[in-house]
Amino acid sequence: MANRHGDVIAHVKRNNVLVDVHHGSNGYFLMMKNGRVLTRARWPKNTDPNHLWLDIENCDVPKDLQPELRYHRIKLEDRNYTGPLTITAIFANTTEHISLDMLAKLPADIRTVDMGLYDADRAIEKEIEAFSNNPVNDPARNVMVMSGDKIFVKTLRDLKGKGYRTLAAFRVSSDEEELNAQVWDSWVFRQLLNLPWTVGEKPREEQDRKRKRSSSSAVLQHYCRVSNEKKLPALVSFLKKSPDQKVVIFFSSCSSVEYHYEMMRALDNDLRCLRIHGNLELENNLQAFSEFKINGGGIFLLCSDAVALGPHIQGVVSLCSIK
């Protein structure tokens, strides 16, 4: 007889037992075993500390969830994990759909790596390895990896071998079989966040729409062609004509941002300039972004092109792109 809840969409581990995940009729995920619906966990509570490493590129913030609420929705207690939760989020600064605005709202310890996406995965691997090798972190702890990347199968296997209880959360399309083999409990990503199974639009797609809107014919666009030696004077002249406005200036590289920032400060102390680029510490970037965002006007933000893919800032009058 066909299951009235439809096909199995994924498998997860529940108290070290593999169970089926279905689309529940109420819009939320439903777990079943041998045709029986599974309810809240009834086994003893696990009060050990929970340490979660998040691969933002693989498990980014769903469109239908405010970033600042993300970690408050993690429902480990539904499986009776009631100990304190520590979250470390790591991402590559080349990840286009992760904006500074989003990062500023995430209640987590956030780290960046300066290379590509796989370097972020390796950074997570190294951090977890260092964590497990530290004598202070005894195995009476639960370690979770929130990522569907196959690269973490070995990491989870090593943790399991050292006596840690391993947990995982992943997207439906991930390498779930190999990940499940190395963990005691696992969740579908949106299930862990207690979100409906109807998946919202990814932030990357939202950014694509924003870029299309920004190039609308309703936007007034100008350009000025000048020689290289006159670019800086022309930019300073333009900014002086906008003394009370918020202006964002995009450059093609981090070094170009840094050069123009230092030169503009040296040429005119009256120009209030801030800078953001990938070679600065994340804390400095977030501080500059926050200052620019809350300021009423008369301030200019110099940044690399990557920032153009992210935040919307209220009150910005002009956007300049220096090539």
pLDDT surpassing 60 at residue 157: yes
Give per-residue pLDDT as tens, 239-298. Answer: 888 777 888 888 888 888 898 888 888 877 678 889 988 788 888 888 888 888 887 777
**Which CATH fold topology does 220-321 show?**
Rossmann fold (3.40.50)
CA-CA-CA-CA torsion sign (166, 153, 126, 310)? negative
| Closest to 18 in 3D by CA, of 29, 31, 6 | 31
Which residue did the predictor score with more confidence, 158 or 287?
A: 158
Task: Give 178: exposed, middle or buried? Use CB within 10 Å, 0-12, 13-18, 19+.
Answer: middle
Residue 2's pLDDT is: 45
Mean pLDDT along residues 170-179: 82
Look at residue 205 and tell me whether its pLDDT is greater than 50: no
DSSP-derived 3-state class of residue 281: coil
CA 154 to chain centre: 23
Please state the domain extents for the chain: 10-204, 220-321
- List, in sequence order, the alpha helices (H) in the chain: 100-105, 117-133, 152-161, 176-180, 189-192, 203-214, 228-240, 254-267, 282-294
> Which tokens in the block code for residue 225?
């062609």
Between 226 and 296, the more confident residue is: 226
The percent of residues above 70 in pLDDT, for the chain, comes to: 73
Identity (one letter) of the amino acid at 279? N
Q: Which residue has the higher pLDDT, 236 or 153?
A: 153
Q: Cα separation of 285 and 274, whole Å? A: 9
Task: Establish how many alpha carbons lie within 13 A of residue 72's alpha carbon, considering only the half-sphere containing its beta carbon.
Answer: 8
Confidence check: pLDDT of 63 > 70: no
Read off the tokens for 98: 């992760």
The CA angle 16-21-27, to the nearest 5 degrees, is 135
The model's pLDDT over 76-113, given as tens digits with 9 standing for 90+, comes to 888 999 998 888 877 765 555 455 555 555 555 666 55
Average pLDDT over residues 28-56: 86
Most confident of 15-29, 47-61, 100-114: 15-29
N- to C-terminal Cα distance for the chain?
65
- Asked: is 10-204 a CATH 3.20.80.10 domain? The reply is no
Alpha carbon 151 to chain centroid, angstroms:
19
pLDDT confidence bin for 130, thresholds 50/70/90: very high
Q: Is it true that 10-204 and 220-321 share their CATH fold?
A: yes
What pLDDT is stored for residue 219 in this prediction?
A: 59
